[in-house]
Amino acid sequence: MLTKRQNLLETIQGGHPDRYVNCHEAFAFIIDPILTHIGGFAYTMKPGETVMNQWGVTVTFPKGCAGPLPIHSNGLAALKDITKWRETVRAPRIVYPPEVWATAKAQADAVDRKEQFVAAFMAPGIFEKINYLMGMEPAMVAFYEEPEAMHELFDFMADWELAYAKELMKYIKPDLVFHHDDFGTQYSSFFSPEMFQEFFVPVYKKVYGYFKEQGCLIVHHSDSYVANLIPSMIEMGIDIHQGTIHTNNLPELVKTYGGQISFMGGIDNSIVDREDWTHESIAAQIKKVCDEIPPKYFLPCTSMGGPDCSYPGVYDAVCEEIEKYNKKRFSLT
């Protein structure tokens, strides 16, 4: 039986996987001190908290919500004028002494890299950071009204992420990078393919290109419609698109692009992650998706950007039901 790491590689390389990859089982996530010091993210906040993170963004985590949200109302937007971003945006600290990295390094050193990938976790992404600073509507308008300033801010964010990447390689040497940046809604991308190519591809090729030079796999999370952006995402260097929801027509994506990129999803949180969830409803969704799509280039997974869920027990139940499905379909013992 292949290890979790080997099975994932066989899956994305079009080899001979002996079962479906089970959600995030092959990833040993490491939450690094740069991310934790910035603050204002799901892994650093508790429901009910409101904080200002190191980007100057006010972030709140309402009770009952899946995660924290930036606040832009009542004059709280950190960046109010895109043309003045140079005077306004102050990037968080990146360089910390080795002792600050001690816990993350020890966690990475403890991972059996034959069994799992040491996975760096980077969030929010380049566009999401700008959205956090400005708000969604002003950010979208800026693409049209102030494209030069937007290009400059994108380049600034990419250079910051590149410096961040070098610290990750210095201390934890990840095998894989799990990077967030949501590119659309459930039914449409935020950007035309032409706009996406102009603004996103150059900066992501810079960041992902560095990681790939270091031998890392790239897993990009966007739980949205991205079918029209896949050619550009391939050009960026993405190995696995995580969060592929049903509106993308997953079987067609695998058929069309398998061998160039793999897809991790098909079990939408909007479908299974409900207050009234049951093992039976989750098993039915897994069977529906996996009966239609063979394991090459497809990794069944919930669409949330990590091993988590909105309603307690859902993620574990999904993993249990995929394991049951694997045992039945592949005669595993």
* Residue 84, both tokens: 């003045």
**pLDDT, tens digit, 9 for 90 and up, residues 22-58:** 999 999 999 999 999 999 987 788 889 999 999 999 9
- Domain 4-45+77-330 matching CATH 3.20.20.210: the answer reads yes
Phi/psi-derived region of residue 252, left when phi > 0, alpha when psi is between -120 and 50, beta in every other case: alpha
Is the pLDDT at 274 greater than 90, yes or no? yes
**pLDDT, tens digit, 9 for 90 and up, residues 149-174:** 999 999 999 999 999 999 999 999 99
Query: Residue 24: what pLDDT?
Result: 98
Cβ-in-10-Å burial (0-12, 13-18, 19+) of 213 comes to exposed
**pLDDT, tens digit, 9 for 90 and up, residues 236-260:** 999 999 999 999 999 999 999 999 9
Predicted TM-score of the model (pTM): 0.97
Q: How far apart are CA 155 and CA 311, in angstroms?
A: 38
Phi, psi of 108 (to 5 degrees): -65, -40
Sequence ranges of the domains in the chain: 4-45+77-330
Is the pLDDT at 117 greater than 70, yes or no? yes
Is the pLDDT at 4 greater than 70, yes or no? yes
pLDDT (mean) for 166-192: 98
Q: What Cα–Cα distance (Å) separates residue 169 from each residue in 42, 114, 160, 175?
A: 23, 19, 15, 9
Q: How far apart are CA 118 and CA 243, in angstroms?
A: 20
Q: How far apart are CA 65 and CA 222, in angstroms?
A: 19
pLDDT (mean) for 191-206: 98
Query: Residue 132: what pLDDT?
Result: 96
The HSE-up count of residue 107 (CA atoms within 13 Å, CB side) is 16
